[in-house]
Amino acid sequence: GEDVEQSLFLSVREGDSSVINCTYTDSSSTYLYWYKQEPGAGLQLLTYIFSNMDMKQDQRLTVLLNKKDKHLSLRIADTQTGDSAIYFCAETRGSNFGNEKLTFGTGTRLTIIP
Amino acid sequence: DAGITQSPRHKVTETGTPVTLRCHQTENHRYMYWYRQDPGHGLRLIHYSYGVKDTDKGEVSDGYSVSRSKTEDFLLTLESATSSQTSVYFCAISENGRSDTQYFGPGTRLTVL
């Protein structure tokens, strides 16, 4: 199975909050990331959290990290149609500094219901 | 897309034929990466480069080779394409090799019949 797991689909009404969840396996990961992929495009880094943090907020985005359970979540407040995309969580695996490798989750497709 | 282009953007080919995908950057970044994206698997690293002529394998390197003869170009070659290599291929670049500074290209959709 996947080392980094996500639900494949999420539907949310416009204006509500979206919560996308991720579980990872490598407790030594130093950073955990959220990427957004819009249709036909590459991945765009949304935000990231350092492993010694519990929470990070950036405008409408809130990242929560539970290291004990190896659980990461991304909350998008006041979800808009422009938030429709696939969201990937990713972790860095132990590697030499300056040559970090990302391991991605399966991605969650967020659909906004008008 | 941070000065990254991929060519071709779409390709259909037949099993057994060689295929080369090109990633070109204008950022003069040292690190370049090739990923493949498949449903249910997210992105998986195929190969990466940490400098001109310096490359290494990722987690799914079998059936792929790469070359980097100059900073701006990173080529991914499928010597004999198979249907299991049907995928969307993404190139990424990084100035310093840190994960938070990887920028992705627009992708190449490859179909092997």
What confidence tier does A1 reach under pLDDT thresholds 50, 70, 90?
Answer: very low
Angle at A102 between CA A96 and CA A103, to 5 degrees: 125
Interface membership of B74 toward A (CB under 8 Å): no
> What is the average pLDDT across A26-47?
87
Q: How far apart are CA B96 and CA B63, in angstroms?
A: 28
Contact A24, A31 (CB under 8 A): no
Task: State yes or no: pLDDT of B108 exceeds 90.
Answer: yes
* Tens-place pLDDT, residues A61-70: 999 999 999 9
> What is the average pLDDT across A32-38?
93
Which amino acid type is present at position A99?
Answer: N
Residue of A nearest to B31 (CA): A99
Which of B97, B100, B103 has the CB atom closest to A99's CB atom?
Answer: B97
Which of B1, B41, B97 has the CB atom closest to A42's CB atom?
Answer: B1
Interface membership of B58 toward A (CB under 8 Å): yes
Predicted local distance difference test score (pLDDT) of residue A110: 97
Contact B6, B104 (CB under 8 A): no
